[in-house]
Amino acid sequence: MSKQTQIRNFSIIAHIDHGKSTLADRILDFTGALSEREKQDQFLDKMDLERERGITIKLQSVRLPYKAKDGQEYILNLIDTPGHVDFSYEVSRSLQACEGALLVVDAAQGVEAQTLANVYLALENDLEIIPVINKIDLPSADPERVKDEVEEVIGLDASDAVLASAKAGIGIEEILEQIVEKVPAPKGDPDAPLQALIFDSFYDAYKGVIVYMRVVEGTIRKGMKIKMMATGKTFEVLEVGAYNPHPVAMDELSVGEVGFVVASIKNVKDTRVGDTITDAVTPAAEPLPGYRKTNPMVFCGLYPVDSSQYEDLREALEKLELNDASLAYEPETSNALGFGFRCGFLGLLHMEIIQERIEREFQISLITTAPSVVYHVYLTDGSVLQIENPTLMPEVQKIDHIEEPFVRASIMVPNDFVGTVMELCQTKRGQYIDMKYLDTNRVNLQYDLPLSEIVYDFFDLLKSSTKGYASFDYELIGNKTSNLVKMDVLLNGEVVDALSFIVHRDRAQHRGRLLVEKLKKLIPRQMFEIPVQAAIGNKVVARENISAIRKNVLAKCYGGDISRKRKLLEKQKEGKKRMKAVGSVEVPQEAFMAVLKMEEK
Amino acid sequence: MTPPKAVYIHIPFCATKCHYCDFTAYVVEGQPVDDYLDALAKEIEMTVRDAPPEQLESIFIGGGTPTVLTPVQMKKMLDIIQTYFPERAPAIEYTMEANPGTTTPELLAVIRDGGVNRLSFGAQTFEPHLLREIGRSHGVSEIATSVKEARTAGISNISLDLMFGLPNQSLDQMRDTLERAVALSPDHFSCYSLKVEEGTLFYHLEERGQLPLPDEEVEYGMYQLIRDYLLQQGYAQYEVSNFSKQGRESKHNSTYWKNESYYGFGAGAHGYVHGTRHVNVKGISEYVSRIDRGERPILQQEKIPLQEQMENYFILGLRLLEGVSLQQFKQQYGQPADHVFGDAIETLVNKQFLRVEGDIIRLTEQGLLFGNDVFVQFLY
C-alpha cells in the first residue's frame, strides 16, 4: 500500500516513430523495474505483431517505485496507450485513468496530427501535460523550433520542456522529476463506495479475464463482491495486484492506485473499457462519466480459402473475441465464397490486425472481401435498414435515399503538398472545412469525408502523394445523404456477390472500369474465355475479356534434373491453393480486395 | 535394384554463354580443362567402385558444349569413358551434344573413333538475326555444314535442337526454320520453348521490360505448327518436345522419362543411382578440389521416398505419348496405381486429359497441351 499523496499516474502521448516505446523502456530501466535479461527492446508491447508494426495494440500498465531528489519514495503508474486512431476510445479511457501525460514530440519532425488528437483528449480529461522533445541527438534535431510549435499549435507552455533522447538515455531523470513535481496526486476518498475505471482487459487461459483498472474512489480488496455498472454482472474478486512489470498480488488497491483484478470472468465483453467497477454490496450512486459501447465502423467478410476450415475459422474468431471486446462477427453465406463470417472492426488497422492474426496464429488462409461501412438505407415504405454488406442492398426501386457515415479529417502537411492534398480530398468527395497555418511551413487542413472513401484507399494515396509527409487523423461526425449505387461484378455471366460494392453514382462508371481492368490482371487465364463485367442493376458499365489459355506444359529439357520440374509443379500447386473456385472460374485471393487497390487516374 | 544402364557426362565449357542459358556452363577460355578431365576420371572411378556398371545401353555427353574440347582433350575424355564403361550393348546409343561450327573433320574423326554414334546439334533457329539475339556463336550456314561433315565422318544419327517463342520470333520465321531444318533430313528433333530463367541475361532484360517475347497465342501457334509440320514430314511426336523418324527416338532421354536410373558425372551433373538422386557441385575449381581431396563432388543427395518415386513415374512417364503401364507400376512399387492415384486419374479422365486403354494410361491431345495441369494432380 502506498500513500495517496505519493502516487503519480501518467501516460505517454506520441506519434508512431516518435519513440514512445523506447522512452517507456528507459523509464522502466531507470527505475530498476527491468532485470538485465528483460532489457530487450519495447518491453511493454507484448504481441509479436505489435513489435513488428511498431505500434501498441493492447494497453499495459506498470507500477514503478521511484525515489525522487526530494528524498521521498513515489509510486509512478505508467499507463501505456495504443497509438492509432482506430483505438481512440481506448486512448481516452486510459487518459482518464491518469492525472498527467508526457507529450513526446520528435525533435526533427515536430507535432503530428495523431499526437494532436490525443493531446486534445488529454486536455479534455484535465491532464497535466509535460512536453518532452525526444531524439535531440539526431543531426536534424531542432528543439527550439519544435518548442515553438508546441506552444503555437497546442498552446502549451514549452519553456520547461524536457530535452531528451530515449535512445541515448538523455533526460530520463528529469522526466521523472517533472512527473513527481507537476503531476497532481490522485484525489478521492479511500472509504467512499468503490468506483474503479476499466481501461483494458485481457483474457488469460488460466485466470480468465484480467481487468486493468484505476481506483477512482474507495478501495478494492480480495474477496470482495464487485459489480460492473454498465453490464450489471457481478463477480467475486480472487486477486488484485499490479505489474512491476511482472504481476504481483496485493491485498487491496486503494484510491488512486492502478492495477489488475482477477475475478473468474469468462468473457471480455463483461468488462467493457470505460465501465465502472463498484462494490456489489454497497454500490456507488452512479458510474464514472464517459462510458460508451464502442461500435464497429468497418465491416468485411472473412472466408476460409479451404471451405473445410470454416469451423477452424469460427474457433479462431471465438478465441480472438475472448481478448477483444470490440470484435464483432456473425455467420454469413456468400454464393461465391460459401460459408464465412461478416466481421466488424473499429477501423482498418484493427481489421488488418485480426486478419493477420487469424492467418498467422491459426494458420487459416483467408479470403477477405473489400471492407464496407454501415449504410443507412431509407426505404420508400418508411422503414430504415442498416446495411453493412453491399450484397444485401435492396433493389433501387425500393430505396428512397441512402445515408453514409462521414468523418472530419484533420490532415497536417507541409506547405508544398497543400494543393495535392486538397485535390485528393476533392476526388474523395471531401468537403472543405478549414485550413490553418501551424507555422510558416506546415498546414492543418480539415475536410469532411465519407468514411467509405477512407476505408478505400485514401490513406495510401495520401501517403504516396505527399511522400509520407502528411499525418492524418479523423473522428466520426455522423451520417449524410449521398447518391450511392450498388455495383455488381459478373464473372462468366454470374454475379459474384463477394465482389459487389457501394459507390457514388458519379464515380460508378469509372470505378467499374478500373475494377474490371484490375480483375483482368489478377485472374489467371483459364481454359475458357471469361467475360468480366461491372454492372449497376441490369446495366453493364464496363467489360473486359480474359482470353482462354491455350496450353500449359513445360516444353523444356532439364536433362536429368527432375527436381526443377517438380519445383515448377509445386509452385503451380501452391498458386492453386490460393485460388477459390467461383462457379467454374478460379479466382485468386487478392481479387476480392481488388476494389481497394485501384489507382484513380 | 539394378545398376544404371545409362551414363550422363557433363562438359561445362562453351565458347560463349547464350543469353537464355542457366545450365552449368562456363566460357572455356582460361579454364583448366585438362584438370577437369582428370577429375572427371577420378569421379567416375570412385563412383563405379561403389556402384559397378553392367552393360550400358546409352551414353550422353552433354554440356555446355563438349565439342569445344581440342581433339587431344576429346580423345582423352572418350578414352576415360571407354576405360570405366567397357561393356556396351551392341545397339548402344552414344550421343554427344555439339554446336554447329565447332565440329572440324579432325575432331569428328576422334569422336567417331571414340564410339560416338549420335550427334545432337544445337541449331535453335535458322534465322540469322535471331541466332545473334539469343547469343549463339554460330551462323545459319554452319548448321548445314556441320551436319554434312558429321555424316561424312560416319556419324549418321543426327538430332537437331530447335527453340520457339524467341524474342520477336514470328510464326513465319518458325515455318521457315522448320522447312530448312527438315531439308537437312535429321533423324530426330527436340523443340524447346524458351523459358526465361533467373540469372540469365534474358531474365534481366525481361525484368526491365526489354524482352519482346511473342504472346502466348503466337507461341501456342508455333508449337502446333511444329507438331503438324514435323508429323507431315515423317517425324512422329513421341514426347512433349521430341520428334523422330521411326526407330530414332532418344534412348538416353527415355531413361529419364521412364524414371530409370543413370550415372551422372561432371560439374553440375545429376545422377540417379540405386534410388538416390544427387547433384554435383557446379564450380569447376570446387569440383576439381573436392576430387583432389578424394571426396565425391556431391552438392546434394537424397534417397527418393517411395511416394515421390511413384509420383515421378507418372509425372515423367506421361510426357511420353506412348503413356505408362499400370502393370509395370504395380511390379515396380508393389501396389496398384489406383490405390495411390485413383482420385487423380479419375479427375483427369473426366476432364478428358487422360485416356485409359487397357493397361496403358496416356495423355489426350488436350492433356498434352495442358501437361502441367495433369502432372500437378499427381503431386501429394
Q: Where are the alpha helices (DSSP H) in chain B?
A: 33-50, 71-84, 105-113, 128-133, 141-153, 171-183, 201-207, 216-232, 251-257, 284-292, 306-317, 326-333, 337-350, 365-369, 371-376
Residues A384 and A235 in one domain: no
Whole-number Cα distances in Å, B113 to A79, B6, B99, B108, B222:
88, 20, 19, 8, 39
A140, A155, A182 - which closes a domain = A182
Give me the residue from B195, B253, B256 closest to A556, CB to CB: B195
Cβ distance of B316 and A555 shorter than 8 Å = no
- Say which CATH number the domain at A459 has: 3.30.70.240
Indicate the SS3 state at residue A165.
strand
Mean pLDDT of A572-582: 84
Which chain A residues have any C-beta within 8 angstroms of a chain B C-beta?
A: 525, 527, 547, 549-557, 559-563, 565-566, 568-570, 572-573, 576
Instruction: Read off the pLDDT band of A59 (50, 70, 90).
Output: very low
Q: Does B356 touch chain A (CB under 8 A)?
A: no
- Do A496 and A466 share a domain, yes or no? no
Q: Is A18 annotated as a binding residue?
A: yes
Q: What is the CATH number of the domain that holds A10?
A: 3.40.50.300
A282 assigned ligand-binding residue: no
Q: Phi-psi region for residue A535, left (φ > 0), alpha (ψ -120 to 50) or beta?
A: beta
Query: What pLDDT score does A37 carry?
Result: 52
- Cα→Cα distances A324→A260, A370, A415, B312, Å: 17, 22, 40, 49
Q: Could you identify the residue written with the cell 522502466?
A: A28
> Is B190 within 8 Å of A576 when comparing Cβ atoms?
no
Overall domain count for chain A: 5
Q: Is A136 annotated as a binding residue?
A: yes
Task: Answer with the one of A349, A369, A389 that is the final residue of a domain.
Answer: A369
B270 touches chain A (CB under 8 A): yes
CATH classification at residue A351: 3.30.70.870
pLDDT score at B138 = 93
Pick from B275, B270, B321: nearest CA to B300 = B270
Closest Cβ opposite residue A553 in set B191, B270, B368: B368
Query: A161, A182, A203: which is the final residue of a domain?
Result: A182
| pLDDT for position A211 | 92
Question: Residue A22 annotated as binding?
Answer: yes
Rounded CA Rg of chain B = 21
Q: How confident is the model at residue A51 (pLDDT cuts 50, 70, 90)?
A: very low
A160 is annotated as contributing to ligand binding: no
In this structure, how many other beta carbons lie within 10 angstroms of the beta carbon of residue A249?
13
Looking at the fold, whether A139 and A54 belong to one and the same domain comes out as yes
* pLDDT tens readout for residues B57-90: 999 999 899 999 999 999 999 999 999 999 999 9
Which of B58, B73, B144, B67 has the alpha carbon at shortest distance from B99? Answer: B67
Decide: A241 and A247 in contact? Cβ < 8 Å. Answer: yes
The domain spanning residue A207 has which CATH number? 2.40.30.10
Same domain for A24 and A46? yes
Sorting pLDDT into bands at 50, 70 and 90, what band is A598?
low
| Residue A128 shares a structural domain with residue A40 | yes
Q: What CATH number is given for B6-257 in this structure?
A: 3.20.20.70
Amino acid found at A419: G
Which residues, including other chains, have CB under 8 Å from residue A250's CB and lie 6 or more apart? A1, A240, A241, A242, A259
So where are chain B's domains? 6-257, 310-378
* Contact predicate A234/A277, CB 8 Å: no
- A163/A512 Cα distance (integer angstroms): 53
Which tens digits make up the pLDDT trace of A406-434? Answer: 999 888 888 889 999 999 999 899 999 99
Architecture per CATH, B310-378: Orthogonal Bundle (1.10)
Which residue range is the domain that position A121 belongs to? 3-182
**CA–CA dist A576, A571 (Å, integer):** 9
CA distance B140 to B100: 9
Please check if A419 is assigned to a binding site.
no
Q: Which residue in B116, B120, B57 sits closest to B92, CA to CA?
A: B57
Question: A495 and A476 in one domain?
Answer: no
Choice among A22-31, A566-575, B6-15, B363-372 with the minimum mean pLDDT: A22-31
CA angle B16, B175, B162 (to 5 degrees): 30
Given an 8 Å threshold on Cβ–Cβ distance, is A559 in contact with B312? no
Q: Would residue A188 count as lying in a domain? A: no
Give contacts of A527 with chain B, Cβ < 8 Å. 370
Our CA angle for A173, A174, A178, nearest 5°, is: 120
d(CA B298, CA B282): 9
Residues A43, A114 within the same domain: yes
Is the predicted pLDDT of residue A376 greater than 80, yes or no?
Answer: yes
Does B371 contact A553 at a Cβ distance shorter than 8 Å? Answer: yes
**Same-domain check for residues A19 and A63:** yes
On whether both A74 and A202 belong to a single domain, the answer is no
Q: What is the mean pLDDT of chain A?
A: 87
- pLDDT-based confidence at residue A34 (cuts at 50, 70, 90): low
Whether residues A28 and A133 share a domain: the answer is: yes
Q: How far is B63 from chain A (nearest CA, A)?
A: 10
Determine how β-strand A195-204 pairs with β-strand A276-279.
antiparallel
A495 and A414 in a common domain: no
Same domain? A327 vs A441: no
CA dihedral of residues A454, A460, A463, A465 (deg, nearest 10): -100
Looking at the domain assignment, is residue A292 inside a domain? no
Q: Do B379 and A561 touch (CB under 8 A)?
A: no
Chain A residues in contact with B262 by the CB 8 A cut-off are 560
B196 → chain A, closest CA residue: A556
Per mean pLDDT, which range of A150-159, A281-290, A533-542 is the poorest? Answer: A150-159
Name every residue whose Cβ is closer than 8 Å to that of residue A581 and which is 6 or more positions away in sequence: A587
Q: What pLDDT digit, counting tens, does each position of B287-311 carry? A: 999 999 999 999 999 999 999 999 9
Residue A278 burial (CB count, 10 A): 25
Q: Residues B298-325, buried b or exposed e (16+ Cβ, 10 A)?
A: eeeeeebeeebebbbbbbbbbbbeebbb
How many CB pairs below 8 A link A and B?
83
Supply B279's cell numbers. Answer: 547433384
Mutation target vs A (from B171, B189, B270; most A CBs, 10 A cutoff): B270
